[in-house]
Amino acid sequence: MASPGFTDVFAALVAVVNTKFPEVGGLLLRKIILRLRRAYKRNDKHQLLAAAKFIAHLVNQQVVHELIALELLTILLENPTDDGVEVAVGFVTECGSILEDLSPKALDGIFERLREILHEGEIDKRIQFLIEGLFALRKAKFQGHPAIRPELDLVELEDQLTHESSFLGEINAKDDLVVFKSDPNFLENEKRYEDLKKTIIGDKPLEEEDGDDEDFDEVDESSLEEDEELMRIKDETETNLVNIRRTIYLTIMSGVNFEEAGHKLLKIKLEPGQENLHQDSLPGVVRASWHSRVERAP
């Protein structure tokens, strides 16, 4: 609901989880249908659009049966309103490609109903333009709106489990799942879960995986050190010498007295190899800087 732009990504995630835990997919479908009902009664277009888009992509992923999509469209177009028709148009835009393949005759009936609404002319002009755009999109075979993007096609069709439900029937939301209850068979159920987890993700111990990572880190660090040594270039332009002279000069000139200047000089960090520069070339810089400071003193 918070990120409608990533709805197809969330639906792909649900499709993967649904292959191992179909109870999760079924529970999610019931929750979305209840949210759709609530949004439809309250005329909350924002919530209705987000929930309808989620169901559309779950239909694309074959987590939800296409009959639920057709039932939703029938409800939205039975007594057409501007908001209801807008949601229906957006819904068909998202999952029209797969409905064209799975239920072409039912989709023909939906478009026939949209044509009737368009000819009646009782809806807003903006909604009429949306319907005309949807007809053009269908004529172009929903180009630009594929059922599933290639990078999100993660589950084989034979592995997918499809759920069926109804908007008008009685739905058990299983609200008791949000309340903590002590499990008298906790250890037994935990063992069953561990066995199931091994069948899904493998039984490789975490210690082995950590060890592999440590070995990789050691090799990686040693190779980085070798690369740094190979990339070390001798400075022939005396840039380091100029920089250290400038640093010492500014340190002395900013000191209040010789003691503060001495403490600041001791804190200067020298790079490897600059100790000789400090002994051979820097005393003159220090003297020149200090004489300049003395001359400027009152």
Is the separation of the CB atoms in 271 and 240 below 8 Å? yes
Q: What is the pTM of this model?
A: 0.64
Residue 225 lies in a domain: no
Residue 119 has pLDDT above 80, yes or no: yes
Look up the CATH number of the domain holding residue 63.
1.25.40.180
Query: What average pLDDT does the segment 232-252 reach?
Result: 68
Number of domains in the chain: 2
Residue 142 lies in a domain: yes
Query: What average pLDDT does the segment 273-292 reach?
Result: 55
Domain end: 145, 170, 195, which one?
170
Residue 214 lies in a domain: no
201 vs 10, residue with greater confidence: 10
DSSP 260: H
CB atoms under 10 Å from CB of 198, counted, come to 11
Residue 171 has pLDDT above 50, yes or no: yes
Taking Cα atoms as reference points, which of 197, 154, 59 lies closest to residue 73?
59
CB atoms under 10 Å from CB of 122, counted, come to 12
Supply the range of the domain harboring residue 266: 239-296
Domain end: 170, 197, 225, which one?
170
What does the pLDDT read at residue 198? 84
**Mean pLDDT, rounded, of the chain:** 81
Query: What average pLDDT does the segment 215-223 reach?
Result: 55
Residue 91 has pLDDT above 90, yes or no: yes
Q: Do 148 and 282 share a structural domain?
A: no
Place of tokens 């997918």: 160
Residue 72 has pLDDT above 60, yes or no: yes
Residue 206 lies in a domain: no
> Cα(25)–Cα(16) distance, rounded to whole angstroms?
10
